[in-house]
Every structure is written in C-alpha cells, then in structure tokens.
Structure 1
Amino acid sequence: MRHTDLIYLIALRQCYGIGDITAKKLLTHFKSAEEVFKRNPVEIAGLTGIGLKNSQNIKLSEWLQKAEREAEFAFQNNIDCQRFDDPDYPEKLKHCPDGPTLLFSKGNINLKDRKIISIVGTRKVTAAGIDFCRRLIFDLAPLDPVIVSGFAYGVDIVAHQAAIEKGLQTIAVMAHGHNQIYPKPHQKFVKPILENGGFMTEFCTWENPLPENFVKRNRIVAGLSEATVVIESAEKGGSLITANMALDYNRDVFAVPGKPTDPLSQGCNNLIKTQRAQILTQAADLVYSLNWDLKKTELQVQKQLFVDLSDEEKLIFDHLSQTGNQSLDVIALECGFPVQKLSGLLLQMELKGVVRPMPGKMFQAV
C-alpha cells in the first residue's frame, strides 16, 4: 500500500459517522481513500445514506495530520498495514461485513491455508479450566492449528502460552494500538508471541484499551477463525459476546460444559442448552465437527493422541476402522466379547467420541 493511500485510509476510518461497513462501501466505489476525500459531501451522503453532516466530516484536515503520524509510526516499527481487500488480509475476516477496514499486524504471521481456532473464556479461570485449555491445545498440536485469543488475563493468556509451548502460531488481538501492551504484566509474553505468530489490532496509537474497544476487538477474534471455543464463562461476559459474534458470522462455536452450580460454567452451559454451541469435552470433538479428520490414517493417529483407550476398546476401534459399519452381534462374535460386556464398552467409547451408533444396532468408528 502506498504511503499516501495509508494516510488517507487511516484518516477516513477516524471520521465521525464512518464505520467499517460505510468505509468499505466508499472504498469499493471510489477505489481509494484519497479519492473519497476529494469528493463532494453531497455525493458521499447520497451514496452511503450517512447524512450530509457526517459526510462533511471527511473534509476535516485534523485526521489527516494524525494519520500521517500514525503511518510513520507503522513504518518505523515494521507494522504491516492491510486494507480489507488486500490479498494478504486474513481470508476469513474478509467474509465479515463489519470486519476492520484496516488491520495493523506485527510479527511472524502466516494464516494462508491454515486451520485456525479462537479460544476465549473467563479472566478468573480455575485450575480445571487451565488444565483443559492446555490439554486441548496439546492434543491439537499434531494438526498445527493457529491459536487466536485476546491476550487478556485468564483463559486468553493460558491459550497463548500453551500454543507457544508446543511451537504453534498464536495471534493476540489487541483492543488498543501497537504502542502499548495491556495488561502490562503480560509484557513478558510479547517476544515469544512475536516469534511464534504476532499481534493484530484495528486501533491507532492514540486509542486506549477502553471497555468499548474490547467489544470491537472481540469481533476480530471471532472473525479470524473457523471456530470459537469457550472455556469457562459466567452468565455474562466478553467471551459470550465473542461466541455470539462467531455465530453471526456463521462459524462453529464450542463450549466446555461444567457443573450446573458453578458460576463460571453458567455461560458455557447456557450456550450448549440453547444449542448455540456444540459440547466440547475433548479435542476429538472439535476435530470431528470441523471435518479436520478427512484421512483415515490421520484420524487413527488423532484418536491415539486424543483419547485414552483400554486394550479392549482399542481392539474394538481397530476392528471397526478396518471393517466399517457392523452390528452389535457381529462385533461381539468377531472381537470375542459377550454382548452385555460389549454394550458397556461401546457406550464408553461413544462417550469418548470414538464410535457412533447407527440405525439397526449398527456401529462405526468415528
């Protein structure tokens, strides 16, 4: 992007009344932000419906002056500036109508043809939540997914740390400009994240981490990935906002269930109860639902990684993997188990997500 184009684009996004949807409409019509600034406010008002007063704000020079300083900051700090229709703009984010018109990225980020998931949850994460988050990422590591989160306390930073530990690319989406780090205690994670992925934001350096900016940030977390995972959430909170945004973008949402009496499980349980999220108890649930297990050989490796099977369960799983659908009686005969014992084993395997019951008392390996 030319330096001049960047300056005008930054300025356009700061003009009062010009949101991302309107900005994209203007840029698609006039091709460049500089051209938008040259146009008559009446023409802009007629095209966008934002009103003459808001369209006249585009003529104000104060945003151009601030935008020039911002563009220089980006250049000096090796920040990549991506317009919504640039080839290197995140592909999944392109399909979000209200996605950022301009994205500021820094680090070693490569999202092309990658499996990407977002992991969010409470800032008051419990030991059980930490354990589940780490185990989920560790089990998914052989598939080399990109882990996206919001760099906040709790589940966010646990997800980033686990991804770094397994050498996975991780993206931290910020609610402020690249000139600061929030929360400050997370400064120690900046270097490893830059080495294993990077930071993204739509905000300029003069924009601070205000509450409303975190809500805006959440749509990027949801929009970057093909699925959002919620690990522990109260009845209300930012992670639920992210989940609802993901649903609005027609993305998959997964929630980790918890005890009905646990306040930090209420949000997840409600997502599952209202069928807005799929239940997630292990990595295999996500792998199967997202159709990441297209190859049978890959699937078998995944099951070994994700699920602890007893010797008897492994025998049944290997048999079904080789033979396909089989009835309860045939499995009992060929695997050498009494029908009553086999029924109990198949139930346990179904709960572990490795077999699926079919019509006519048939079973198949998942």
Structure 2
Amino acid sequence: MTENNLLYTLALQHVPNIGDITAKRLISHCGSAEGVLKEKKQNLLKINGIGIVTINELFKTQHVKEAEKEINFIKENRIKVLYFEDNNYPEKLKHCIDSPILLFQSGQINLKQQHIISIVGARKITTSGIAFCEDLVEQLAVYNPIIVSGFAYGTDITAHKAALKHNLQTIGCLAHGLNQIYPKVHKKYVVDVEKNGGFFTDFWSSDSFDKNNFLKRNRVIAGLSQATIVIESAEKGGSLVTADIANSYNRDVFAVPGRTTDSQSVGCNNLIKHQKAHMLTTPLDVPYILNWQLEDHKTPTIQKQLFVELDPIEKVIYKYLKENEKQQLDVIAINCELPIFKVASILLTMELKGVIRPLPGKLFEVT
C-alpha cells in the first residue's frame, strides 16, 4: 500500500470506538480510509451503526498526527505492514470478520502453500504437557507446518522452541507493539524466530500495555490457522478464549484430554465434553482430521529401502497389512491387539521407513 493510504488507514485505526468491523464497513462505503476521512459528515451518517459522536471524533486532526509518528517508527524499524485487502495479507485471517485492518510484521514469514496450526495452552504447563507438545511438533514436522502461538510463558514458548528445533516456521502473535517483547525473558528467542518465521501484531508502538490486549491478540492466533490445538488448560483461561474464537471462525479445534482430577486438564476435558474440540490423543489425529497429505509438501522423498529393519511390533502390523491390503487405523489396532495411540505412532515410523503409505479415509497399505 502507498504511504498516503497507510497514513489514513492508521489514522482511522487510531479513532476511539472504531473497531475493525466498523472500519471495514466505512472503508467499503467510501472506497478507502482516505475517502472515509474526507467524506462529508451527512453521508457518513447514512452508514448503519455510525453515529454523530463517532463521526465528530473521526475528523480530529490528532489522529493523522499520531499516524505520522507511527509511520516514522515503521520506517525506522523496517516493519512490514499488511493491509486487509491486499494479496499479501494472510488468507485465512482475511476471512475473519473482525480481523485487523492492518497487521504489522517482523521477520521472514512466508504463508504461501503452508499448513498453519496454532498451539496454545496453560502458562503453567506441566512436564507431561511439555512432553506432549514437543512430541506433537516432532511428529508433525514431516508435514512442514507453520506453528503459531502467543510467545507467552508455558505452552506458547514450548511450541515455538519445538518448531525451531525441527526447522519449522513459527509465528509469535504479540499483545503489544513491535517496540517491545513480553515477557522480557523471551527476548533471547527473538532472533531465531525472526530468522525462521517472525511476529505479527495489530498494536502500535504507542499502545499501552494492557491485559485485555491478550484477548484481542487471540483472534489473530485463531484466525491465522487452519486449526487450534489446546495442550492444557484450567477451567478458565486465555487458551479457551482462543478455542472459542476458532470455533466461531468455523476452524477445527483439538484438545488433549487428561485425568478428571488434574486442574490443568479441566478446560480441555470440557471442550471435548461439550463437543467444541476433537479429542487429541496422538499427533497423527491432526493430519488425519485435517486431511493433510505428505505429497503436498516439499519434504524429502521417502523411498522403500531394500533391507528395512522392523521391530517385532512393526513386523506384526506389516504382516497384517500384507495379508489384508488396505485397512483403517482402528481395524489394524483391533486385529493386531494393540492400543490405537501406539499403532498411530508406529504407522508413522513405518511410513518414514517407506514400508507403508497412508491413504484418504485413515487407511494404510504396504508399499
């Protein structure tokens, strides 16, 4: 977008009581943010939901002056600005009614032809939650997804670090401007994230730091992604808000179940109980539900080796598939007398060895 268009869009964004939904309605009516701020008041009054108080506020010169200051910050820090009508604006976020009219970006984010998932959860994540999150990212790495989270304590930073470990793009969605990092202890991860992903925010450098920002930030986390995964959550928490937002966007939500006596599993168990989330017991549930295919990505070609070593359980599964051809995961588990979650993990290992391949409908066959 041109600097002139950016100036007026920032000015419109700065007007109190004009949220993203109202801003988009005004822009649609007037053709651009500049058109809004140069339109006659009587014409703006014809727009549904726009009152005289809001209109009078629109024309105060302070909004353009503040926008000029923010443009200087953007230039000085080489920040990329994404406008909601431009082609480079995140496609999935574009379809959310309350998505930001402007999104500020740092780093090397590339969203083209990528699977994008958000991983959220408790800030006081348990050791088992950390282990599940790390295993999830490790097993999904072959599908080359982008991992989105909020760069906060606990689950968020665990997901980001796991993504970096497996050379996956990761995006931190911030609840403040790009002039700072919260929590400060996470500054040490910023360079690595920006080298292999980056940060998104719709907050200005001049915005005050407020706890309500985190709830507003959550719509970006949910909107960017094909699915949101909740690792752990107490009965109430920000990750449940993100899950609710994802549901409102008609996106898939996954939740990891836990014991009814565990306080950090109450939120996840409730999501599953109220049918607001798929139950996630194994990483392979994600590509199955989302219908991901390995061949869709530029991952190393998996070739069947001439002499593949299989462990005893793998041999049982291989023999069963060899004799019965295409079979579903559940059927394999039943007939091989193995737990479903264990079979799912073994099948992925066998797939990477090149001895079986997945098919649509949760089917598997030998190569």
- TM-score category of the 2 structures, normalised to the smaller one: 0.7 to 0.9
Structural mapping, 1:294-309, within 5 Å: none
Matches for 1:128-139 after TM superposition, within 5 Å: 128-139=128-139
**Structure 1 pair 84–317 and aligned structure 2 pair: CA distance change class (3 A):** farther
Task: Answer yes or no: is the 8 Å Cα contact 2:282–2:341 preserved in 1.
Answer: no
Match of 1:94 in 2: 94
CA shift, 1:282, in A, is 1.5
Shift in CA distance, 309/290, structure 1 to aligned 2, threshold 3 Å? farther
Distance change >3 Å, CA 262–CA 52, structure 1 → 2: same
Change (3 A) 1:91 1:294: same
Q: TM-score, normalised by structure 2?
A: 0.86
Q: Which residue of 2 aligns with 1:345?
A: 336
Alpha-carbon displacement from aligned partner over 1:113-165 (angstroms, at most 9, x marks no partner) = 11000000000001111111111001111111000000000000000011111
Correspondence for 1:36:
36
Q: What code does the residue aligned with 1:345 have?
A: C
Q: Aligned ranges for residues 1-366 of structure 1 at < 5 Å?
A: 1-293=1-293, 310-316=313-319, 318-319=321-322, 323-324=325-326, 343=334, 345-346=336-337, 348-349=339-340, 352-353=343-344, 365=364
SS in 1 for 2:176: coil
Which consecutive unaligned segments of at least 5 residues does structure 1 have?
Answer: 302-307, 332-341, 356-362
User: What amino acid is the match of 2:29?
Assistant: H
Q: CA, structure 1 residues 215+29, in 2 after alignment: closer, same or farther (shift >3 Å)? A: same
Q: 1:48 to 1:73 in 2, by over 3 A?
A: farther
Q: Closer, same or farther in 2 for the Cα pair 1:343/1:107, shift >3 Å? A: closer
TM-score (norm 1): 0.86
* Distance in 1 between residues matched to 2:341 and 2:122, nearest whole Å: 30
One-letter amino acid of the structure 2 residue matched with residue 205 of structure 1: S
**Deviations 1:288-337 (CA, angstroms, capped at 9, x unpaired):** 000003769x9x97xxxxxx9813442256337x72259x99x9xxxxxx
- Gap change, CA 1:343 and 1:22, over 3 Å in 2: closer
CA pair 102-309 structure 1, distance change in 2 beyond 3 A = farther
Distance 1:256 1:212, change over 3 A: same
1:250-291 Cα deviation digits (max 9, x unpaired):
000000011110000000000011111001112110010000
| Separation in 2, partners of 1:343, 1:248 | 36
One-letter code aligned to 1:19: G
- Sort the Cα spacing of 1:343 and 1:255 in 2 relative to 1 into closer, same or farther, 3 A: closer
Q: What's the CA shift for 1:345?
A: 2.3
Question: In structure 1, what residue type is equivalent to 2:172?
Answer: A
Deviations along 1:192-222, one digit per CA (max 9) or x if unpaired, are 0110100100000111331111000000000
Shift in Å, 1:16: 1.8
Measure how far apart 1:26 and its partner are.
1.5
Higher alpha-carbon deviation: 269-278 or 202-211: 202-211
Contact 1:145–1:168 (8 Å) recurs in 2: yes
Contact 1:82 1:102 in 2 (8 A): yes
Distance 1:227 1:131 in 2: 20
Q: Structure 2: how far apart are the matches of 1:287 and 1:160?
A: 19
CA contact (8 A) 2:143 2:294 kept: no
CA distance in 1 between partners of 2:86 and 2:101 (Å):
10
Greater displacement, 16-25 / 148-157: 16-25
How many residues are matched? 339
Give % identity.
Answer: 48
* 1:352 positional shift: 3.8
Aligned to 1:336: none
Measure, in 1, the Cα distance between the counterparts of 2:334 and 2:106: 54
CA deviations on 1:202-251 (whole Å, 9 max, x unpaired) are 00011133111100000000000000000010000000000000000000
Alpha-carbon distance in 1 for matches of 2:37, 2:11: 9
Q: CA deviation at 1:49?
A: 1.9
SS at match of 2:162: helix
Secondary structure of 1:67's aligned partner: helix
CA distance in 2, matches of 1:317, 1:38: 72
CA contact (8 A) 2:8 2:64 kept: yes
Query: Does structure 2 conserve the Cα–Cα contact (< 8 Å) formed by 1:17 and 1:50?
Result: no
Q: Which residue of 2 aligns with 1:360?
A: none
Output the CA distance in 2 between the equivalents of 1:99 and 1:146. 19
In the alignment, the residues of structure 1 paired with residue 236 and residue 180 of structure 2 have an alpha-carbon distance, to the nearest angstrom, of 28
Alpha-carbon shift at residue 349 of structure 1 (Å): 4.0
TM-align CA RMSD: 2.7
CA drift of 1:11 comes to 1.0
Letter of the structure 2 residue corresponding to residue 310 of structure 1: I
